[in-house]
Each structure stands twice: as structure tokens, then as C-alpha cells.
Structure 1
Amino acid sequence: MRAAYLVEAGRQVSGSLNLAHTIRRSLTACVPEFADWAQLMIVNRSEATFTSLLDGGVPTTTRRPAPPAAQSRLLLTGRPEVLHVALITPAGDSAADGLSALVPDEGMRAEVSALRPADVLGVPLTARGATFGTLTLARRAGTGFDAADVELAEELAVRIALAVDAARRYTERSHVASVLQSSLRPPELPKLRGVDLAARYRPAAGDAEIGGDFYDVWGGDEAWSFTLGDVSGKGVEAAVVTGQARHTVRGASAVDRSPAAVLGALNAMLAGNTSGRYVTAVYGRVTPAPGGAGLRVELGSAGHPPPLLIRPDGTVSPVAVRGLAAGLIEDVRYEPVTVDLAPGETLVLYTDGVTEAGERSVREGTRRLIALLASYAEAGVEALVEAVEIAVVEGAGAVQRDDLAVLALRAS
């Protein structure tokens, strides 16, 4: 019977990686099969969270800045403790029989007091060599906890500890991933005088909201900058380099906004990085065109697909700007080119996830992209980038294998 109970309890507590669900499952594995009341205390940094369950009730939770004395002793010694709760204590004081030391919350103590006289057993929760919590059990008078019960409770605590620890680690990693996603999520495009901006970003299937492609636009009406790039590889490691690359480009532009200086700084950062990853990127600085009509764009490229220039008549041509991908060798000189955008002309930057979607070759993908852009020469930039995204999704079929990013800027 005891072996069967442990097997079933182990199955029950390990059925979820959600921490709150795992705690509830652990309590219901204890109550009422093994005890009349159960409490889990989980210590996270300096805070202790208590969740209890009484037979026939619902779980309740409370928090304290630190565990009480008896709970701290369990954490330090790693040895179980049994406490007898008498029927009556002097002046009804639960502290007299030590109950408050194991059950610090008044409402939870009332649940145990309703079982008086009772026996209370506390056992530590230990996983990966660290004790991070306790399991406290209570039984009505007459049942108590003998040596075999204490041994069973310790074995049960091992299963609960493993399940709770796995859920805690999963929760912590999810939080880290969420923070990382927030820091890497493409920024909102600014509103700048003399230009219409639009962008789309879509990570590869299975990469949630993070990936290796990035874009950014920053600055003021009289002088602003933009970049779009692609980090080699996929997943979280590529996403970390993505953040480094984006922040390096921004930081370098605050010192010297020329493409040669900014891409040189990006190359220096990556060449000294032990990750072994490289980045292809386009960077541009923008000022009003001479005479005030349109925009002057000074472009630099680090091994990236050439930007495409769209004229209002539907003519599409690549901008002949070239350079070595950043991070491959230490000393690289980037040669910029200058493009003047007349009002109505559009510059489109994109990553290879746009041209390599599905089974098509880069040449075929580029040809199709040019044809699509030509047909949207007079459409708004939002409609243009949306059409590119839709075409990529449809071309990728069931699985999008690569990230995509596209940025369009039109002189207005």
C-alpha cells in the first residue's frame, strides 16, 4: 500500500511545470490520503511562501519576509520534527505547544487547531543538494506519526521537492526569457519629419518572440539613423548577440554617425567576442537632401543583401553598397555610398529570411521580391511591408525556417 501510494503521489506531483499547480498537486497528494492537513513552505531569497490545505477545504496562501524559528531549523538541519498539539493550551495560546513556530499564519493555525489534539510533522524539501522549503503535515489525535510514517513522509518530500524544484527552475527561466524578449523586441518606429516609416519582424517558427534579425531607427528630424541586420545562427544565443549588435550600433552612432565608424565598431565588438557569431547589417544616416526636398542617405553594408530603391513609376534597383560581414576578421574598412531619395521614392531593407523563404533560391527569391515591390510602388509603406510579410509566410509553407525583418522608408 505504501509503495503504491508513493508511486501515485509521484505521478500526481510531477504532472505540471507550473509552480502554483505543482504546489496544489503536492498538497492534494498529501490530503486526505496521508494527512488531514498539509502545508508547503517555499523560500525564495528572503521571502517564505506558505500554502496549506485542510481536508475538505481549498488551498490558501500567505507570505512572510522570513520563515519562523522551527521552519528555519528544518531548513538548517534537514531532519524531520514531530510536534504534539494538545487539546487545550494555557489561555488558548498556540505558542505554548510550539504550533506557531511551524505554522506562522493565524488562519492556517486555526485549521490545525480545529484538529486538536493532533500531531504535526515537519520534513525538509531538498533538491540538487539544497534545502529550499518544508512540508508540514498534521493528523487528528489517535493516528499520529510513527517511525514508518516519518520515513514515508520523507520519501514523499523527496518526490515533492524534485517536482517543485523543476517548476521553480522552469518559472525562473521563463522569467529570464520574458525579460530577454522584452529587451530584444523590435522597437516602435519614431515619427520623423519628411519620411514615412514601416517595418515588419517575424521570428522563425518555434523561436517565440526572439530571433537573430533586428532593425532600429533613432534620432531627430534633422539627422537620424537606421539599421537592419541578421545574426548568424538561431535561438537564444543568437538573440543575445542580436541585442549586443543593436546596442553597439546605437552607441557607436552617438560618437560618430558615419557608416564607416559605426560598422567598424560593430565589427570590433564581434571580432573580440568569443561566441564566434557574425552579423550582416546595413546602417544608414539620414539628413534632409540639399535644397530641402527629399532625403540624403549615406549607406554602409557589412555583407548584407543590398537595399532596394523603389521609384514611383515602379522601377526597382539594388543599391550597390558592399562590405564584409562583421565579426569575421578584426580589421575591416567599410566604404559608404550616398543615395538621394526624391519625394515618393522608397528604400527597402530586408534580411535573407525574405528572399530564401520556402525552397526557392536566393536569386529567385530576390526576383520575386523585386516584382512584388514594383507592384506596391504607389502603395503606402505599411501596405508594402505587410505584403512582403504575407508573401514570405505563404512562400514558407508549413514551417518558416528563418527569421524575417523588413524596413521601408519613403521620402515624403
Structure 2
Amino acid sequence: MFKIAILGGGVVGSGVADILIDKSKALSERFHKDVSLAYILDIRDMTGTKYEPYYTNDKEVVFSDDDVKLIVVTIGGLDLAADFCRRALKSGRHVVTSNKEVVAAVGRELTLLADENNVRFLYEASSGGGIPIIRPLNLCLASNDIYEINGILNGTTNYILTCMYQDRLSFDVALKNAQAAGYAEANPSADVDGYDAARKIAILSSISYGKFVDYNDVKCTGIRDVIYDDHEFAASAGYAIKLIAGSRNTDKGVTCTVEPKLVPKSNMLASVNSVYNAVLVKGSYTGDTLMYGQGAGKLPTASAVVGDIIDILTDANKQALPGFVHNNAVVIEDTEACDKYYVRINVSYDNESDDIKDAVIKCFGDKALFLGASLSNHSIVAFITEKCTAADFTAKLDAFCDITGAKAEYKLKVID
């Protein structure tokens, strides 16, 4: 008897239930075990729904059943979900979770706890939703030294940015549309301010580099200050604006950021639109490897959860403790890195366009790209600099503003 309990019957939890109800017979036949969904624990009343046969609001019913071998934790938040994970692991049960907050905050504690109790703690759905990424990092790409990760890891922000450009919308209107479509929460801060993506890139970086990256150390900038004109300018120069979660493993430490960037149309990430996500991994042998798919949603995320359940049923991929359990990353800011910068400025009508262009060339060099004025507001002007360090960029921008009297309203790094 291999009973499964789901703690949290919300969007993801109910999706996992749907798949298990549909596939329990096939799983039982494939793995020669009596696999079945036994319980769905939730504070909401599920009587009168198709989940009623599995519903309970009493956690003790779940934990007192010795035939429950695996617990799926799909409730949100940190404290209660983490406590459920700890209790399940200590009782000798496998745990699968989609909760990125738990994995980012206490994932290595739970990994150790699982090892001590000879069970497994898996979390494929925590970082890419329906995109297979953690298992490929642990298995398919294991021979590689992974040295860089860049990804679009939040479907909500990607949907908003896509709508802003395609439908010529402001951020506020695009956000309301995302909320109406069910892609954004009533309080969207975790998504639009980059915290959700920060947790995900911290998890992926920890696995890839074998060193624990604390998500609190991830430098995070959201998308609230992006306006439609930024998309217009970016497109005119052959770029798309994306919220990029990125990290790089260097001799000095790990750089780890979440920030909007201009991505060239030649880059695979530039064509990832709407709620789709993608992760671009750079390995010593494979070079660039792209994983792409729906990063959120009921069934895509549930599919990743059930993939972990199947991994446990096969008992084929149990590995040694990952390096991040014992090693801490030194998260640094790479002050020596040279980047191009996109700058949006506000100028007075007294300034001629040629004067602004001349000032851009004077301050930033003849390789700087002057993008002109916005079609909808001629006081909004933009340009892209040549490569320079952050310190050099700040000094040159200050000089430019002094010369022109312009106000620098927004700046973004450009992926070259």
C-alpha cells in the first residue's frame, strides 16, 4: 500500500489530485505498488465536490495513517508548510513540494532531514513550474560545470511585459489585466517586485554551483517603473524587455540578480512571451541549454509535482547529499563587469534633439546609440551606451545630466 496525501487543496494541490485520480491505476501497474490518493487536507470545505472522498480538515488523520508513504505539500507561505515538511520527514515519509518559499528558506535543512530518515525531499515544481529544470541539472547536466544561469522565471511579470508591448499599455493597466485573467494576485508584490524570481534563481544557483545561495542576498529590482515607451525604444533597437533572473559562478563568488534588462532579439529569451518561462543554462561541455515551457498554472505545475512522485516510486535517482547542504556561497556584486546601459531621460522643449545626441556622444562615446524621442511624448528621449563599468556609467550619466539639464528617469542593463 502506497498512499499519498496532499496538504493544500488549492490550485496546484487540486491539479495534483486530478492527475493522481486519473493515473493511480496506471502508476500502480507500472511500479507494482498499490498507489492511491488517500487524503486532501484543506481548511476549505470540499464536501459536495469531486474531492470529497479524499477531503479532511484534520491533519492528525493524515499523520496517524501508517500507510501514507508520501506527503505532497502545496500550501503557500513558509512556517506552516515548513512544519508539515519537517513532521512528514521525521516520521519517515517522503515529501514533495511546489513551495518555493520553503525550498529557498529551509531547503537544505529539509534535505538533511530527509537523508537522516532515509526518505526523499523533492521540489522540481518550486523553480520552473511545469519546466523540467532541477532534475536535468542533477542528472542530465551533471557532468558539466555550470557557470551561468539566466532565465525568465516569473510568468506573471512576463505576461505583464508582453501585454504592455503588444497592446501599448501602461504597467498599471497591464497589471489589472493580469489580475483579471488570474495571473496576478490581489497583492502582486512578490511577482512584480521580483521576490518570486529571486527565490527561484537562488534555488537553481544553489543546485548548479553546489553552494547555498541565500535568496535574501539576491539583488532584486522589479518592473513597476517600466513604461510603454521603454518597450517602444527597445524594439526600435532590436531588443525586448524581460525580467531576467541571472547568476554567475566566479572565482570571487556568485553574482545573483533579478532585474529588467534589454534582451537582443537574437537571444532565445527574447522570444519567450506571455506566461511562458525559460531557463538558459551555460555548461562547460554543453554550452547553452534552454528549458522552456509554462512556468505556472494548475496542471503544468502539478505535472512537475507528479514527476517527483514518480521519481520516488522508481527509487532510481537517489543521490548523495548536494554540495549546497554544507557549503555557503559568497554572493558578490561584480563591480568590474562592463555592460551596456539603456537610459530614458526627460528633457525640456528648449533642448534640440541634435544637442541631446551630441551630448550623448560626448559623454558616452561615439559607439553610444541615440534612440531619439518617443513618438507619443517628445520630451522622453532614450539612448544605449557603449560598455562600461557601473562606476563609469554613473559618472558619465552625471556629466551628461549636468551638460543638458536632463533628468535620468530610468536605466536598465543591456544583454549584449
The TM-score, its normalising length taken from structure 2, stands at: 0.21
Greater RCO (Cα-Cα under 8 Å, separation 6 or more)? 2
TM-score (norm 1): 0.21
Give the number of the structure whose alpha-carbon radius of gyration is greater: 1
